[in-house]
C-alpha cells in the first residue's frame, strides 16, 4: 500500500483509468503542459498527449458542454473546473443538459462524465476561491455528487466516478489536497458511489460531515472523548447524491442525536436536506434537536486572515456544538 496525499490519489486515479480505458480523456484550463493549477494532472499530458489531456480556452460553458457532447458520442471525459467558484458559466450546461439528457431522451442517451472541482476555504482565497457550492448541484436530479475526505476515498471514488454511466460532480476540498498522507490500496480498487462510512464509532451523538469536515469532526470527536467523555460517532457521507440514508438513520437510531456540519452557508445548504430527512424519518429516535453547524450567512469567505478565521469551521466550533447537543 502506498502512502498518498489526496492530490496524488486523484492523479493516480486518473492515470490508472486512462491506462485501462482509452475513452477516458481530460479537459480543462491549464491541465496540459502546466499540469493544472494545483498539479492534479501533472505528468499526464506528457504521458497521454495533447488530445487526451486537452488545454481548453477559458470557457467553462464550453468545457462542460463539449464534455457532454463527447460523452454522448462515447468518450469518458473528465473535466476540470479550475475552482468550484468558476463553474457558474457552465451552470446552464450542467443543470439544463448534462443532468437531464438521460431522462429527457427516455433513456436513449446518457452523459457518462466527471466534473472535478476544487472547493472550500481556509486557503486565503477569499470570496471567489473558497466556495463550497455543492448545494447548487445536490438539488439537481440526474447528477451524482461525490466529496471525499481521505486519499483512499478520493482515489477509489474518482475511479468509480469515471466508470459511472451517469454524470458525476467530484468535489475536492483544496485544503485537504496536501493535508496528510494515508494508505491507499494498490491496484484497481474502487470505492462505491452512494455509500457513507462510519469514520469513528460512538454512542452519544452522530456527526455528519464530508470533505475537509471529516478531518475536523474526527479531531473534535477526540477532544470530546478526552475532555468530556462524550463518544461522538462520525459519519463521513462521501457521496452527497445519492445519499446513503440507511447509514445515516442507523447512526441516529443508535445515538439519538444528530449534528450536521458543513462549510457552506447554512440557509438552504446541503445540511438542511440531511437534517430534514433525519427529523422526518428518525423522529421517534431523536433525543435532541437535529442541529446544524455551518458557515456564516455572508456571501463568501472574506480574505483577511482574521476574517477568514472568523468564517471557517474547525474542530473547536464542532466541539462546542456537540457539547451543547450532548448536554441536551
Partner 1 sequence: MASTDTRPRHAELGLGDADVLGMYRAMLLARAVDERMWLMQRAGKIAFIISGQGHEGAQVATSWPMRKGTDWMAPYYRSIASAMTFGMSAEDIITAHLAKGDDVSSGGRQMPGHYGGAPYNIISLSSPVGTQVLHAVGIAMGAWVRGDDVVAMTSFGEGTANQGEIHEAMNFAGVHNLPVIFVCENNGYAISVPLERQVAGGSVAARAAGYGMPGVVVDGGDVLACYGAAKEAHDRAKRGEGPTLIEARVVRLTSHSSDDDQRRYRDPSEVEALKERDPIPMFANELRANGILTDDGEETMRAEVKAEVNEASKRAEARPEPTPDDAHERVYADPIPGGGTAVPLAPVGGGGQ
The verdict on 314 binding ligand TPP (CB under 6 A) reads no
Helix 6-20 to helix 44-52 angle, to the nearest 10 degrees?
50
Q: 172 near 154, Cβ under 8 Å? A: yes
Q: Is 121 in the site for partner 1 (CB under 8 A)?
A: no
Element (H, E) at 311: helix 305-311
Partner in contact with 91, chosen from ligand TPP, partner 1, its own copies, none, beta carbon below 5 to 8 Å by kind = its own copies
Map residue 251 onto helix, strand or coil: helix
Q: Which residues contact 219 (CB under 8 A, 6 or more apart)?
A: 315
Q: How many Cα atoms sit within 13 Å of 278 on the Cβ side?
A: 31
**Helix H or strand E segment including 315:** helix 315-326
Q: How far is the CB of 328 from ligand TPP (least distance, A)?
A: 44
Q: Alpha-carbon distance 264 to 259, whole Å?
A: 15
Do 251 and 199 form a contact (C-beta atoms < 8 A)? no
The residue within the footprint of ligand TPP, chosen from 29, 80, 233, 308 (CB under 6 A), is 29
Q: Which of 81, 112, 116, 240 binds partner 1 (CB under 8 A)?
A: 112
Choose the stretch contacting partner 1; rule: CB under 8 A; options: 1-9, 29-37, 147-155, 254-262. Answer: 29-37
Contact residues: its own copies, CB under 8 A: 85, 88-89, 91-92, 95-96, 99-100, 102-104, 127-128, 135-136, 138-142, 241, 243, 264-265, 267-273, 275-276, 278-281, 283, 286, 288-292, 297-300
Q: Which of residues 133-172 bind partner 1 (CB under 8 A)?
A: 141-142, 144, 156, 160, 163-166
Question: Is residue 41 within the footprint of ligand TPP (CB under 6 A)?
Answer: no
Measured over all CA atoms, what is the biggest interatomic distance in the chain, rounded to whole angstroms? 59
From 169-177, 186-194, 216-224, 278-286, give the range in contact with partner 1 by CB under 8 A: 186-194
Residues in the chain: 328
> Which residue's C-beta sits nearest to ligand TPP?
86
- The answer to the question of residue 19 lying near partner 1 (CB under 8 A) is no
Distance CA 230, CA 322 (A): 9
Give me the phi and psi of 169, to 5 degrees please. -100, 125
Torsion angles phi and psi, residue 72, rounded to 5: -65, -35
11 makes contact with partner 1 (CB under 8 A): no
In sequence order, which ranges of 256-303 are alpha helices (DSSP H)?
270-281
Q: In whole angstroms, how close is the CB of 86 to ligand TPP at the nearest point?
A: 4
Window 63-102: contact mask with ligand TPP (x via CB under 6 A): -------------------x---x--x-------------
Query: Scanning the structure block, which residue is given the C-alpha cell 451552470?
Result: 91
Per CB under 8 A, does 211 bind partner 1? no
Q: Which is nearer to its own copies, 42 or 273 (CB)?
A: 273
Taking CB under 6 A as the rule, does residue 119 contact ligand TPP? no
Amino acid at each position: 500500500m502506498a502512502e498518498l496525499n489526496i492530490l496524488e490519489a486523484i492523479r493516480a486515479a486518473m492515470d490508472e483509468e486512462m491506462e485501462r480505458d482509452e475513452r477516458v480523456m481530460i479537459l480543462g484550463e491549464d491541465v496540459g503542459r502546466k499540469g493544472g493549477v494545483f498539479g492534479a494532472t501533472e505528468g499526464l499530458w506528457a504521458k497521454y498527449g495533447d488530445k487526451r489531456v486537452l488545454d481548453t480556452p477559458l470557457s467553462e460553458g464550453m468545457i462542460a458542454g463539449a464534455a457532454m457532447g463527447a460523452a454522448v458520442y462515447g468518450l469518458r471525459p473528465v473535466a476540470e473546473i479550475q475552482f468550484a467558484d468558476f463553474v457558474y458559466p457552465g451552470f446552464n450546461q450542467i443543470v439544463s443538459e448534462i443532468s437531464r439528457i438521460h431522462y429527457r431522451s427516455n433513456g436513449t442517451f446518457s452523459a457518462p462524465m466527471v466534473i472535478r472541482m476544487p472547493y472550500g476555504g481556509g486557503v486565503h482565497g477569499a470570496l471567489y476561491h473558497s466556495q463550497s457550492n455543492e448545494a447548487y448541484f445536490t438539488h439537481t436530479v440526474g447528477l451524482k455528487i461525490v466529496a471525499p475526505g481521505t486519499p483512499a476515498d478520493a482515489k477509489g471514488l474518482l475511479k468509480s466516478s469515471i466508470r459511472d454511466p451517469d454524470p458525476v460532480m467530484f468535489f475536492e476540498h483544496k485544503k485537504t489536497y496536501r493535508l496528510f498522507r494515508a494508505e491507499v490500496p494498490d491496484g484497481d480498487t474502487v470505492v462505491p458511489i452512494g455509500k457513507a462510512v462510519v469514520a469513528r464509532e460512538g454512542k452519544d451523538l452522530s456527526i455528519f460531515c464530508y470533505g475537509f469536515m471529516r478531518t475536523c469532526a474526527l479531531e473534535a470527536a477526540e477532544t470530546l472523548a478526552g475532555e468530556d467523555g462524550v463518544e461522538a460517532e462520525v459519519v463521513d457521507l462521501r457521496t452527497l447524491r445519492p445519499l446513503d440514508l440507511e447509514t445515516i438513520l442507523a447512526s441516529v437510531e443508535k445515538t439519538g442525536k444528530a449534528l450536521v456540519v458543513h462549510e457552506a452557508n447554512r440557509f438552504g445548504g446541503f445540511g438542511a436536506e440531511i437534517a430534514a430527512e433525519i427529523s422526518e424519518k428518525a423522529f421517534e429516535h431523536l433525543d435532541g434537536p437535529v442541529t446544524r453547524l455551518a458557515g456564516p450567512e455572508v456571501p463568501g469567505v472574506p480574505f483577511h486572515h482574521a476574517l477568514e478565521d472568523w468564517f471557517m469551521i474547525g474542530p473547536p466550533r464542532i466541539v462546542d456544538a456537540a457539547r451543547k447537543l450532548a448536554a441536551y
